[in-house]
């Protein structure tokens, strides 16, 4: 990861201490959250682009017009930052309170069967099943399973209105980095640091 160094040994101790105090605050480090949210909204940045959702690639599911990591907004809302004093200065950390941000940062594999909701009503029910593999038998009987991808893709134009489709095989979910250091983020962080110490020196 890129580092920005300020050689405080060459500064008067009172000034160096004030700079460290100003930089070592969550108000300043929150720029990490701002940049992460921007990356999610834009499905990437200048160095990485998020792969399309499985639902969009195959035209199946209520998220076929959706964007990665933006289904409920829970992940974005649970991002925060933390600061910590170190022997060499300050350490900023982007925190994920959702519990699944790190999985998307690195990519992961869903073990089948995986239930793909075809509407939001079913999505709320499937959420109760937790992470795959899904226990399809636990779904309510009133939900209708699409017999194949063609029917699932047809949506309201199918033989009936289906509620979900099941992927039996294991599927790989590609990495979609939330934390990253593209040039534009380094510039934004530098500007924030400059504003934080403005007037100190």
Q: State pLDDT tens for residues 59-115.
A: 999 999 999 999 989 999 999 999 988 877 788 999 999 989 999 999 999 999 999
pLDDT tens, residue by residue, 132-187: 999 999 999 999 999 999 999 987 777 889 999 999 999 999 999 999 999 999 99
Domain region containing 113: 109-173
Among the residues of the chain, which ranges form H helices?
Answer: 13-23, 26-29, 31-41, 54-58, 74-77, 101-106, 120-126, 149-154, 183-197
17 lies in the same domain as 77: yes
Specify whether 187 is located in the same domain as 102: yes
5 found inside a domain: no
* Backbone φ and ψ of 154, nearest 5°: -70, -25
Position 167 in a domain: yes
pTM of the model: 0.84
- The total of structural domains in the chain comes to 2
Q: Are 168 and 188 part of one and the same domain?
A: no
Say if 4 falls within a structural domain.
no
Are residue 118 and residue 40 in the same domain, yes or no? no
User: What token pair was written down for 54?
Assistant: 């499985």
Q: Do 114 and 180 lie in a common domain?
A: no
Q: Name the nearest CA neighbour of 40 among 10, 7, 79.
A: 79
Residue holding tokens 């682009």? 49
Whether 74 is in a domain gets the answer: yes
Q: How far apart are CA 171 and CA 75, in angstroms?
A: 22
Residue recorded with tokens 């380094």? 186
Same domain, 31 and 84: yes
Q: How far, in Å, CA of 34 to CA of 159, rounded?
A: 46
């Amino acid at each position: 990861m890129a580092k920005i160094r300020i050689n405080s040994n060459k500064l008067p101790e009172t000034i160096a201490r004030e700079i460290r105090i100003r930089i070592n605050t969550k108000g300043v480090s929150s720029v990490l959250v701002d940049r992460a949210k921007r990356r999610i909204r834009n499905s990437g940045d200048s160095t990485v682009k998020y792969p399309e959702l499985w639902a969009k690639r195959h035209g199946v599911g209520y998220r076929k017009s959706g964007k990665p990591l933006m289904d409920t907004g829970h992940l974005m809302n649970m991002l925060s930052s933390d600061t910590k004093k170190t022997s060499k200065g300050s350490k900023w950390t982007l925190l994920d309170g959702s519990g699944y941000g790190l999985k998307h940062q690195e990519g992961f594999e869903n073990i089948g069967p995986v239930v793909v909701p075809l509407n939001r009503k079913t999505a709320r029910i499937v959420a109760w099943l937790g992470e795959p593999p899904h226990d399809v038998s636990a779904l309510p009987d009133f939900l209708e399973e699409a017999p194949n991808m063609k029917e699932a893709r047809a949506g309201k134009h199918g033989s009936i209105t289906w509620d979900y489709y099941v992927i039996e095989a294991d599927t790989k979910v590609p990495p979609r980095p939330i934390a990253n250091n593209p040039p534009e983020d380094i510039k934004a962080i530098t500007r924030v640091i400059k504003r934080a110490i403005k007037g100190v020196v």
